Structure formats: C-alpha cells, structure tokens
Amino acid sequence: MDVLTATEPAHTESAARAWNFRSRIAFRFCVVYFGLYCIGTQIINSVLAIPNVDVPDWTTVWPMRLGVEWVAAHVFGLKAPLVSSGSGSGDKTFDWVLLFCLLVLSVAATTVWSVLDRRRPSYTALDRWFRVFIRFCLAGQLLTYGMVKAVPLQMPFPFLFTQVEPFGNLSPMGILWASVGASPAYEMFAGCAELTAGFLLIFPRTATLGALVCLADLVEIFVLNMTYDVPVKLLSFHLILLCLFLLASEFQRLANFFFLNRAVEPSRPSPLFQTRRSSRIALAAGTLLWTWMIFCNVYGAWDAFHKYGPGRPKPDLYGIWDVEQATMDGQSRPPLLTDNVRWRRMIVDFPEFIQVQRMDDTRSGYTASVDPKRGVLALTDSKNKNWKAQFVFQHPSPAQLTLDGSIDGHPVRMELHRLDETKFLFASRGFHWIQEYPFNR
C-alpha cells in the first residue's frame, strides 16, 4: 500500500472540468493562507522534526517578527513589547497580530493571482499536491499531540503541589489538566484516537476516513480549549479548517451517504505521476518522511517520559512535607492561618525545584540544590536575586525531616513530617464495577 503516489481519494471525473469562478477564488485563497499558516507556525515543525532541537517558527524571527511588531504598533496601536516565543501559549497578542498579517497577505496574493491567472479553468494538479501537503501537516500534528497523550505526558498525573492546592485556587485550565491527568487511561484513549486519525491520513485510500476521525477529535479539543480557556484556540481552530479543506471535495458523497440515503459511487482517483519510475521515487521519499515523523514522535515521547514524565527520577527529598513545628529568630511560630511567612508545607517533586506553601495557602517556587552526602539544601529565588535560604537537613526516617538554617537572613528550624500522597482519595479510590450508591465527593 503506497503512502503518497498512486491515488488521492477525493477526486472524481468532474475535477477535470472547469471550476466555477467562486471555486477558483476560494482555492487560491486556501492555498496561500493555509500554506503560509502551516509554514509559519509550529505545524511545519512536526513534519520536518529534529529530535532534541527546538526550531523557532520563522514568523518569530527576523525579519517577519519585525513586520508583525510594526503592524502591532502602527495598525493596532499597541505600545508594550510583544511576547513572540517561549511562553507556551498559542494565543498571544503576537499570534493574533500575525493572523491579521497572514489574512492581509493572503487576500492581496489571491487578488494578484486571480488577475494574472484569470484564464486558467482549474487547478486539478495543484489541488492534488496541496492536499498531500495538508495531509502531512495535519497528520504531523495529530501524531505529535496523540503521542504525548498516549504515553501519557501532556496532562501528567497531578503533581504533588497540585494535590495539596485548594480546588478554588486552580484555573480552568489547571482543573482540566488535573482531571484528565488523574485518569491516565482516559488520556491514553484520547491519544490513541488522535494517533488513529494521524495514521489513517498517511494512506490515500484511508485519508477521507482519517479526516473524519480527525475532525471529530479536533472539535472536542477545540471545545475544551474554548470552555477551559486553554491557549491553543487558534491552532485547534485552524486544524479543523484543514480537515474541512481535505473533506471539501467529498461533501456531496458524504451527504448522500449520511443524510440523503442515496447510493454513493466510489471515488475515481487521479494519479500524481505519469510514469512508474516517478511513482516509485515518490513512494520511497514519502515512506521515508512518514517514517521519520513517526520516529521523531516516538523518540520524543520516550525521552520526555524519562526526563519529565512518570519515568523521571525522584529527588532525594521527594514528597509532601508538612511543617509540624517551626521557630524563626529563636521564636516559636505556631501554625496560624493568618501567618503569611511561616511555611505550611514543602513540596519536592523535581530534583532542582521546590514549592513552598505558606499558612495562608500562597505558594512560591524556588530553585533547589540538594547535597545528600553533606546534608545541605540551598534555595534561590529567580525573581529575587538577593533572596536565599540554606539548611542543614537530617533525614532519620522516610517520614521525618529536620531543617536547620536560615531564610533570607533569619535563623530558622523546622520539623517536617511526610504525607502519604498515595492515600489521597482521588489516587486510592480506584475502579469499581459494582456500586450500590454513587461515590461522588
């Protein structure tokens, strides 16, 4: 079964006839706009991936970035510097201004193209090739996001600091991440659905089915992004548009099958190449690219699993540590909820990072350096270079810890006891086939 060359399922004999005026205009716009969007965003990076190399989107580097910043300043009157990369959000002000720029460029390019090429009756060959390009782009995103859910990594099992955070303090996105992460089986199911869509898009004979599965997956993702305020709204919406573009020439056949109860004739595929030699070369190239895309996603998931996921090494002081007794400057600090200085908990989930929860439930994160041989713990604050804390710790048992040292120049001693996080209800409740009454707390 070929992956690129022989057929595209969405073409019939009518494709050889002249297209109407609106179809030609719409196709030109789609080629320009979707082409610019796919190449100018993270989408192309999933097709031309390089393991352990973070390639920036070309729209975030010079000169395109300067153009977007100029439009933001002179068209929209924005004064503050734009965040163009590194934030993890796909709905930044920069992204919205970029979208405006791409729309303007696409309208202008479509206008010029339509004037210069107004006598061409159709774009059958370009349509076939552009659909191949869209299949690669769409499948790349589905394979990427599907793999990090199937492992699962995108929504990890709630970190220790999330487990002790009051529910009301969580953002809508935090609630979504914690609830999906608390059920790895569900996340893996969702990831497998996305992987299925990506794999179906690989083969021309299953591309239509893949686009339908992909559309169902992406509509759910888009709704979650909109209702839980996840900043990937622009990307998920555009992926839906790419699905609809792939399905556009199949709309009538799909309507006949699903809604009109009419007989549906098979697609009559058109060859991408005229010679067998060209088809074989393209088959080899396509197979190589698909294989590379799959390998990069599998390797990336395996690497992340061992660095950041469930397979990561646990730090020496791993756990949720309740501060049972504390003294500061030689004075006892009772556990008063009004005390915004006294530590309530120390949460250690990663080797080089420690979270502190104070009595008023506010939290701070610190860069940590632990020397278990010397029994020394040092903390620094990236937001305040002058702040530091250093302790000599004693760890007489897995559930006991004593810290002796100073916080920001103040002598401190604390006695801590480790909570057993495995006994939290959401982690220990498990699955039950039989329930006489709902257990909903």
What is the residue-level pLDDT of the chain in tens, covering all 441 positions? 444 544 444 444 444 579 999 999 999 999 999 999 999 999 999 998 888 788 888 889 888 899 999 999 999 999 999 999 889 899 999 999 999 999 999 999 999 999 999 999 999 999 999 999 999 999 999 999 999 999 999 999 999 999 998 899 899 999 999 999 999 999 999 999 999 999 999 998 899 999 999 999 999 999 999 999 999 999 999 999 999 999 998 999 999 999 999 998 887 767 777 788 888 888 898 899 999 999 999 999 999 999 889 898 899 999 999 999 999 999 999 999 989 899 999 999 998 999 999 998 889 999 999 999 999 999 999 989 999 999 999 999 999 999 999 999 999 999 999 999 999 998 899 889 999 999 988
Domain membership of residue 313 (yes or no) is: no
Distance CA 82, CA 93 (A): 7
Q: How many CA atoms lie within 13 A of 114 on its CB side?
A: 19
Query: Do 209 and 79 fall within a single domain?
Result: yes
Query: Do 160 and 128 fall within a single domain?
Result: yes
Q: What is the residue whose two structure tokens read 């809604």?
A: 259
Query: Do 284 and 323 fall within a single domain?
Result: no
Domain membership of residue 436 (yes or no) is: no
Tens of pLDDT, residue by residue over 139-184, are: 999 999 999 999 999 999 999 999 998 899 899 999 999 999 999 9
Query: Do 112 and 216 fall within a single domain?
Result: yes
Domain membership of residue 435 (yes or no) is: no
Query: Do 263 and 338 fall within a single domain?
Result: no
For 338, the domain range is: 319-422
Q: In the numeric block, which tokens belong to residue 294? A: 């799959």
Domain membership of residue 205 (yes or no) is: yes
Q: With 0-12 CB in 10 A as exposed, 13-18 as middle and 19+ as buried, what is 377?
A: buried
Q: Give me the amino acid identity at 351.
A: P
Closest CA to 140 of 198, 197, 193: 198
Write down the pLDDT at residue 13: 40
Give me the count of residues in the chain.
441
pTM: 0.90
CATH at residue 399: 2.40.128.280
Distance CA 63, CA 107 (A): 21
Distance CA 207, CA 8 (A): 8
Closest CA to 109 of 23, 33, 44: 33
Query: Do 248 and 349 fall within a single domain?
Result: no
Contacts of 201 (CB under 8 A, 6+ apart): 135, 138, 139, 142, 207, 210, 211, 214
Distance CA 142, CA 144 (A): 5
Q: What is the phi/psi pair of residue 251, to 5°? A: -55, -45
Query: Do 244 and 289 fall within a single domain?
Result: yes
Domain membership of residue 177 (yes or no) is: yes
What's the number of domains the chain is made of?
2
% of the chain beyond a pLDDT of 90: 77
Domain membership of residue 439 (yes or no) is: no
Write down the pLDDT at residue 275: 84
- Final residue in a domain of this structure, among 287, 307, 327: 307
Supply the DSSP string of 360-419, one letter for each residue: TS-EEEEEEEEETTTTEEEEEETTEEEEEEEEEEEEEETTEEEEEEEETTEEEEEEEEEE
Contacts of 252 (CB under 8 A, 6+ apart): none
Query: Do 72 and 168 fall within a single domain?
Result: yes
Q: What is the phi/psi pair of residue 405, to 5°? A: 175, -140
307: number of Cβ within 10 Å = 11
Tens of pLDDT, residue by residue over 378-432, are: 999 998 999 999 999 999 999 999 999 999 999 999 999 999 999 999 889 988 9
User: Are 145 and 297 a contacting pair, CB within 8 Å?
Assistant: no
Three-state secondary-structure class, residue 187: helix
Please name every residue paired with 394 in a beta bridge, in sequence order, or none if there are none: 402
Q: Give me the amino acid identity at 32.
A: V
Query: Do 331 and 241 fall within a single domain?
Result: no
Query: Do 85 and 230 fall within a single domain?
Result: yes
Domain membership of residue 430 (yes or no) is: no
Query: Do 269 and 328 fall within a single domain?
Result: no
Contacts of 277 (CB under 8 A, 6+ apart): none
Kindly state the helix (H) or strand (E) to which residue 324 belongs, with its residue range: strand 319-328
Q: Give me the amino acid identity at 129.
A: W
Query: Do 253 and 376 fall within a single domain?
Result: no
Q: In the numeric block, which tokens belong to residue 427? A: 């982690």
Domain membership of residue 1 (yes or no) is: no
Own/partner pairs for 112-120, CB < 8 Å, 24+ apart?
113/28, 113/32, 114/24, 114/25, 114/28, 120/24
